[in-house]
Each structure stands twice: as C-alpha cells, then as structure tokens.
A and B are shown apart, each in its own frame.
Chain A
C-alpha cells in the first residue's frame, strides 16, 4: 500500500510539474507575442542602439589607432557588444514595465486567483525577455555584417553571443521584475531607465577601459555592465577562447542569480501581501 501511495504521489508531482511547465511556456509566449503585437514597445530598443553604433563608427573611427585601444579592423567590430547590451538593457526595462502593467491593470491578480504556477508568472516573463535578448543579439550581429563588421569567433562565436544575450536579458530583467513586483508601478520601472542609461555611459560600452583614466576608469572597472559587455566583445574582436566564453556566459549567470533571487523575494512579498 505504501508503495502504491508513493507511486501515486510521484505521478501527481510529475503531473504538477508538467502543468507548471506548460503554464510557464504559455506565459513566455504571451510576453513575446506582446512585443510582436506592439512594435512601438520594441522599436526604440532596436533603433537607438543601431543609431549610436552608426554614429560612433563615423565619429570615433580614427580612435582605433590610439594607444590602449584593442586591435580591431573597424570601430564597428568594437562597438557590436556595446550595441547588443544597450539594446538588451532597453528591452529589459520594457519587460519589467510590462510586468508592472499586468499588476496595474489587474491581470496579475487574476493569475493569482487562478490555480496557476506562481513561479511561472515570473519565469514566463523572464523567458520572454531572454528570447527577445537572444533575437536582438542575432539581429544586430547579422545586420551590421554587411557594413564591414567582422566577428572573429565565427558562427560558433555568434551562437555563444546569442546565448550570452539571452542570459544578459534574464539578468537585467530580473532586477526590473523585482522593481515591478515591489512597486507595482510601470512608471517606477520606467524611472529606473535613467539609472540604466547612466550605468551604460560609465561602462566600457562606448570606449575601452584601457583608454579611460582617473575616477571614470575606476567606475568602469567596478561597473558590472563593463564585464557583461567585454566577454561578448572578446569573442567578437579576438575570437573564441575559453576565457572569453567563460566571461560571456558566467558573468551574466552570476548577475542572473542575484537578480532572480531579488525578483523571487519580491514575488513572495507581493503574494503574502495579497
């Protein structure tokens, strides 16, 4: 009899997992479809990074011969990683804002009232952000190739960069989701945007750390965005190496663990407060 109960409970657990997984997939699909159906949400995070890449290439093209600048064929090679992370950051703010909008318009509470997986609400949103981040990485990489950019890591390098782009999106969206769950206000999440923008400018997104000096260099050295960018950049300008791959994958994972923990805690607090 004990054996029968044990088999039944294992089957019930598997069944719950399957349902939870299906719900998470449905939530991910919903967040990706929302981006597809409302291009106005997506366009700025695609256009602005490309604009800055084009602007930077023409403005700073001659800087690649400066001492301390990494060896690159063109400024575009250098700027690809910064362009990708910039796009992913902007997209992640949108993802957090969409979760806050769900809270504002009551959809979040309808999910709470339904027998749905609590974790699925958060994971679904982050998975949607990851899919968009991976797509942005592929899109920027392919779009800039005809303009003279080269990726030393080759197709495998592009694949690793796509994975890294998805992980970066989860890492940053985790912070945005935490803010959305904590405040329940899309305005508050959008209010984080200037902070993201400031962190981006005080990183190595636009110029290498080796050419900076003084306080700026110290800030860029400690800025996690510099490290998110540089793993991907190494793959692009130096080619595949174990160090570059580890940086491109492990740094986003480390940040993802922190941000996901914060988001889970904020979710638990919101559920408890309900």
Chain B
C-alpha cells in the first residue's frame, strides 16, 4: 500500500512538474490559416488539391468591395495551429512551402476576444504586421501578393479560444 501510494505520488508530482515546466507553451486556442487564390484561370490548372469556394463564403467574397473580382476563388491549402500563451507560433497554409507564412502571438484577452500580433511572411521577408482583435469564429483577410495573373488572399480565423 505504501509503495503504491509513493508511486502514485511520484507520478502526480512528475506530471505536475512536467506541466508546470513552461507555462508559455500552454495552448490557449487555435488559429486556422487558409490560402485562397482569386483567378480568372481554370481550376484544373491549380492542381488536385485546390478546392473551389462555393456557397455563402463565395458570395461574401464577391460582394466585398475590398476583394478584387475574379472568375473563381479556390482554396490552395490550410493549416490549423495552436496559439501558445508565451510564444510566437506560425502557420504555413501550403505544406512544405515557405512562399507564404503567417506568424501569430497572443497579446491579450479582453472578454471573449483575443488580440494577436499577426505577421505575413513571403519567404524570408516579413511584409506586414498587424494586431487584429478577434472573437471566436471571426476572421481577418489579408490581400496578399499577385501570382500568375491572380491574387493570393490569406484568411486567418480564430477557431477556438480557451476560457480563462
């Protein structure tokens, strides 16, 4: 009995120590980063992984005065990553590609909203820094660089946020 209690205590203490090791690594939410391409070309030219946007999300893009008009909008890739309490994390919506990357780091939680430091990187160059405040489910769109006659749009969504 004594031995099992010691073992249990040891496991609990070890677990506590491991968890408490770096609170900066606590995951406080998740962010989804998508790479959308607006083009007047054909979907087939974008490869098998490209998925054309449809329905309500397409309608909103078409209605927007800030998004250029294109024949079609396709999602080229996405990446969902945790938000770390004390660290900058990053997302690469096109797996294996450094062409477009996004970094994010929480700056503060006010009520249900999270303010983040958001950076857009093109290869090894940081091209934009912003500090949007997002509620769960809310998105920010970044009108990115031109490519192959079309335009890349980076969509960042706060998917989840842990309650305090």
**Do A and B form a real pair?**
no
Q: Residues of B with Cβ closer than 8 Å to A?
A: none
